[in-house]
Chains A and B, each alone.
Chain A
Amino acid sequence: MEQKLRQEAKALLEQNKVDWIIGFEPGSLKFTATPLITRDKNDTERLIINPFIVNNLADFLTGIKGRVGIVAKGCDSRSIVSLIQDNKVAREDIVILAVPCLGLIDLAKIERLVDKDRDELDDITREEDKVIIKVDGQKKEFAINQTLFDHCIACELPTPQEYDILLGEPRPPAPELEVSGQNIEKLKETTPGERWEFWQNEFSRCIRCYACRNACPACFCQRCFVEETEPQWVMPVPRWQDNLIFQVVRNIHVAGRCTDCGECERVCPVNIPLRSLTREMYDIVDELFQFKSGMDKEAQPLMTHYEQEEAEDLFR
């Protein structure tokens, strides 16, 4: 897959079909990959595909001028489709290099499984349904789902639907939605007061670094409401009240565009379970309006469209 990607990417640049290639190269730390954005065809030699290509590259599309060849896993492709729906990128300006995704490995889960820091591990290899970890000269085997990000276990679209070049055998979706909803189900069994207290606690840790917003491909506003000063909607000091308002409003603003890709949760430095918000919003939107973000590029964006009769039970 990697070889094919390098060839295709190189050819795209050589034939002047794109101005840029966005993909992944090895990161500076073990078991990491880092985004590679280049116009130089020689750089394509560094492109990789492995279980650590965690970033949602669609995030870079709105900041780049020109035609782009972009490496996309299923989730990334949905974010791209969503950007197309919103006229944020033109379909003809991008070439989607589709990666049929086996799921991404969550290093935090691995660390917990073997009770070691990632730096102490010698190797992690993924096979079809298991992951083998080499540590202290020993080999340890785990079922694949023990090691993947929750959002990968619940992935509804491992292989992009929308693409130009397919880099491998398509993989059928086999989402285990329960895994994703566990936390949410538990929360729903509690009283409103308990739930509010739960989020209050979580957001008292938020340092308002805005990593969640910046990593989110659906958050593309030039000026975010949190930076407005007339009026000042939220205080810049990270108090839980304003942190919570920021995140709630962010979730509402990206409703119908958030694909529950899990980037916000992954990048949050204080481990706030943000997917327990994004997943719920994703489900609310689906339940009320039968709308799944980023699935169909011809579909009207959620918030610009309506049906004559819907959600009327909420109105007096």
Chain B
Amino acid sequence: MTQQSEWEPKLLGFLCRWCSYAGADLAGTSRKKYPANIRAIKVPCSSRVDSLFIIKALRLGFDGVLVSGCHPGDCHYLTGNYRARRRIAITKKFLEYLGVEPERIQASWVSASEGGKFAEVVTEVTGDLKKVGPNQLFAERKLAKEN
């Protein structure tokens, strides 16, 4: 029971190195407060994120995944984030159809100068994940029922 009340969601963030990762850095250096629930992985571009990464993260027990890149039009590689947008959109919709709560798959555009926005996004996403609760998707069936 104590576990329940103390439960904190684990969020995996794939942050593009040119914008969102720098945005996260800025949030830190400008002492913006945001929940410590996110573990960040630096990726060259949001388009580096194969849907496989997202699903694997859920399989490994992360409660949610956030992919964040440069704003449309600002991708360092010009069109990477447009392609990422298509891929993330179908991944989210498809997983939702399969029964994955949509809150678990999140995406945002955060530029290098948007430290404040980064903090907001992480706060909001963490809040969403607290609402949907722990990720039991890949737990063995018995476990899923007992809880």
Contacts and interface: CB of A to CB of B under 8 A. Distances in A.
Interface stretch (A5-13, A44-52, A105-113, A305-313): A305-313
B131 interface: no
A76 B54 CA distance: 32
A237 B87 CA distance: 28
Contact of B94 (A196, A241, A281, A308): A281
Interface residues on chain B, size class: 35 or more
A192 B107 contact: no
Interface stretch (A211-219, A263-271, A282-290): A282-290
B111 interface: no
B91 interface: yes
B109 A288 contact: no
A192 B82 CA distance: 29
B121 A316 contact: yes
A245 B56 contact: yes
B37 interface: no
B7 interface: no
Interface string B36-78: 0000000000000001100110010000000000001100000
Contacts of B92: 314
A304 interface: yes
A233 B52 contact: yes
Interface string A177-220: 00000001001100111111111100000000000000000000
Interface in B71-104: 72-73, 79, 82-83, 85-101
B107 A233 contact: no
B107 A193 contact: no
A311 B56 contact: no
B107 A315 contact: yes
Contacts of A306: 79, 82-83, 85-86
B85 A280 contact: no
B86 A316 contact: no
B113 interface: no
Contacts of A198: 99
B79 A248 contact: no
B99 A197 contact: yes
Contacts of B107: 314-316
A289 B121 CA distance: 26
A189 to B, nearest CB: 12
A248 B59 CA distance: 12
A164 to B, nearest CB: 33
B86 A195 contact: no
Interface of B: 51-52, 55-56, 59, 72-73, 79, 82-83, 85-101, 106-109, 121, 124-125, 137-138, 141, 144
Given A199-B98, A289-B86, A315-B108, 20 more contacts: A191-B99, A192-B96, A192-B101, A196-B100, A199-B99, A200-B141, A225-B52, A245-B56, A248-B55, A248-B98, A252-B90, A281-B90, A284-B97, A303-B87, A308-B72, A308-B73, A310-B85, A314-B92, A316-B109, A316-B121
11 contacts: A196-B100, A245-B52, A245-B59, A249-B52, A251-B94, A255-B94, A303-B83, A306-B83, A310-B86, A310-B89, A314-B89
